[in-house]
Structures are given as structure tokens and as C-alpha cells.
Amino acid sequence: MKLWEKQDRLHNKNPRGLLYKMAGDLFVSHYRKSKVSLRFNRLSYNNETVNTPEDEMHFVELQLRYEKTLELMPEKQRIVFLMSRIDQLKYTEIGQNLGISLKAVEKRMTQALGFLRKELEASES
């Protein structure tokens, strides 16, 4: 198929060289993709380890800090954040539902993420 797409470049040339080049490129591309896939599988396998009670305690503490921070967040930011993260709506859908522009949604989301980051970092200390 790729050879057919490149037929205008051949101009009565022997396609054998182009075929070898294309096959080599496809092999290298496939090798790179499989290498990335293998690395991802190794990471996900390592992450399936059993959590210790200490890990679970840290997770519960983080979850409580997160919920408290959401309560402190300004309402407009919280609504946009929750619609994006919980309802998994796209920014355009959020804007349509709230009757605001895409830029306003982006700004509120940026502010919400900044607020979360600042509050969670402050509560760690």
C-alpha cells in the first residue's frame, strides 16, 4: 500500500531499493513501539504490588486532605474541576453547560489546579 502511495516518486526507477528502505523503516518503527510497550508492561507489573498498611494510611490521609481542599475551593472553580474530573466532560461541554466561554473554563480549571496544588502542599508541612 505504501509503495502505491509513493508511485509518483518512482518515475520508472526500480522499486526494489524503496521496498527495502520501507521494510527497514517499518521494522525499526515496530521495534520502537514494542520496546515502549514492554517498558509500560514492566512498570504496570511492578505497580501491582501489595500496599502496606502505611501506604493505605497515607492514601486515606491524602484523600481527606483532597476532600477538605475541594470544600475550601471557590465554587466556580470547584464546579469546573468536578465536571472535568468526575463527569469527564470536555472543556467545550463544560462551557456549554455553564454558559461560559472556553477561555473562561480554561482559566477556572487552571486556577482550580493551582489552588489544589498550593493547598495540598501547604497541608503536607
CB 93 within 8 A of CB 112: no
CATH code of 53-124, in short, is: 1.10.10.10
Per residue in 9-39, pLDDT (tens digit) is 666 666 677 667 777 777 777 777 777 777 7
The C-alpha cell of 105 is what? Answer: 473554563
Distance between CA 24 and CA 22 in Å, rounded?
A: 5
pTM: 0.57
Measured CA to CA, the distance from residue 35 to residue 86 in angstroms comes to: 33
Q: In whole angstroms, give the CA distance from residue 10 to residue 28.
A: 23
Residue 108 pLDDT > 80, yes or no? Answer: yes
- Give Rg (Cα) of the chain: 25
Angle of helix 102-124 relative to helix 53-72, nearest 10 degrees, comes to: 130
Burial letters 102-124, b for 16+ CB under 10 A, else e? eebbeebbebbeebbeebeeeee
**43-102 per-position pLDDT tens digit:** 665 555 567 888 888 888 888 888 899 999 999 999 999 999 988 899 999 999 999 999
Res 46: pLDDT: 57
